[in-house]
Amino acid sequence: MNRSWILIVQTRGTRLQQQNMLKSFTSFTEKMRWISRMRRCFIYNVLIRMNKFLATLKKLDRKPAKSCVNPDYMSSQQDINAKMRAILIDWLIEVHYKFELMDETLFLTVNVIDRFLEKEVVPRKKLQLVGITALLLACKYEEVSVPVVEDLVLISDRAYTKGQILEMEKLILNTLQFNMSVPTPYVFMKRFLKAADADKQLELVSFFMLELCLVEYQMLNYRPSHLAAAAVYTAQCAINRCQQWTKVCESHSRYTGDQLLECSRMMVDFHQKAGTGKLTGVHRKYSTYKFGCAAKILPAQFMLELGGTAPPPSGAI
């Protein structure tokens, strides 16, 4: 029996009241159907836009672009080297942590530094100036609340003035042609963590692996998506003590476990040495309860003993 008819039979009152009740019920039903249709359309449009956005990111990630960095750019520098870059980024990771900035800000900061150093020869005494200015630019792009320039002057122990930072800001923006929208490993990491159905532990260990790579100049040989996928893969192996890379992860990342193996082995090596070297900023950060003591998980040493040779890394250019 029709639900509207049941409603009329069970409702006491005049015929006019019954007709009004029927109209109200019909109107309510149609409104609910309209809301359901609109919700489906909204979800469909969001999925379409998201897929287009991801396709654009992958296109930028796999083709030479303004966001890519020459992994051999340090050879054109005269007064700085990869070790100095590592010291700078290790320090910036600590500054980023003290200011309680968002993760994406850190990855954009490192990207800006590398792209600028690729195009400009920088003397040793101005390398830290480039670093804190890149952090300022990344904050302006990503953060809601931006550190004031005076704070950056203090954090650098007054090595530079406010005027020098603002001048460097203009130089960096002009050199990079104001291009701040770039696909960093962070963007891919969030996507791959969803594909891996990650819990909080896997997320923190994955970011620990990825931030270890920021300090290492040699990791510029890998695309941002490759680094993100390898970080998730390595973290899963460390947590589960066995190789784990599902078909879902492979489908979303477009990397097989074999393709990630060489990069993952390097991450395992970084993990083993993270707490014993001179540059321990990432290890100290991820040894805190705030970051789940992710650095204290045992390295996946078994990956260093796996047979087979992975394909060579995909260069950034």
Annotate the chain with three-state secondary structure. CCHHHHHHHHCCCCHHHHHHHHHHHHHHHHHHHHHHHHHHHHHHHHHHHHHHHHHHHHHHHHCCCCCCCCCCHHHHCCCCCHHHHHHHHHHHHHHHHHCCCCHHHHHHHHHHHHHHHHHCCCCHHHHHHHHHHHHHHHHHHHCCCCCCHHHHHHHCCCCCCHHHHHHHHHHHHHHCCCCCCCCCHHHHHHHHHHHCCCCHHHHHHHHHHHHHHHHCHHHHHCCHHHHHHHHHHHHHHHHHCCCCCCHHHHHHHCCCHHHHHHHHHHHHHHHHHCCCCCCCHHHHHCCCHHHCCHHHCCCCHHHHHCCCCCCCCCCCC
Give the pLDDT of residue 175: 97
Per the CB < 8 A criterion, the answer to whether 106 and 185 are in contact is no
Give the pLDDT of residue 267: 97
Residues of the chain falling short of pLDDT 50: 1, 5-9, 11, 44, 47, 64-65, 309-317
Q: Please report, rounded to a whole number, the percentage of residues in the chain having pLDDT higher than 70.
A: 75
pTM: 0.79
Give the pLDDT of residue 99: 95
C-alpha to C-alpha distance for 114 and 70, rounded to whole angstroms: 9
Quick one: CA torsion of 244, 250, 222, 188, rounded to 10 degrees?
Answer: -100
Q: How many CB atoms are closer than 10 A to CB 297?
A: 17
Give the pLDDT of residue 126: 97
Give the pLDDT of residue 20: 66
Reference 165, options 137, 191, 206, 198; nearest CA is 137
Give the pLDDT of residue 48: 54
C-alpha to C-alpha distance for 192 and 71, rounded to whole angstroms: 24
- Express each pLDDT in 66-108 by its tens digit: 557 899 999 999 999 999 999 999 999 999 999 999 999 999 9
According to the CATH classification, is domain 185-305 in 1.10.472.10? Answer: yes
Architecture (CATH level 2) of domain 73-175: Orthogonal Bundle (1.10)
Per the CB < 8 A criterion, the answer to whether 165 and 149 are in contact is yes
Give the pLDDT of residue 289: 95
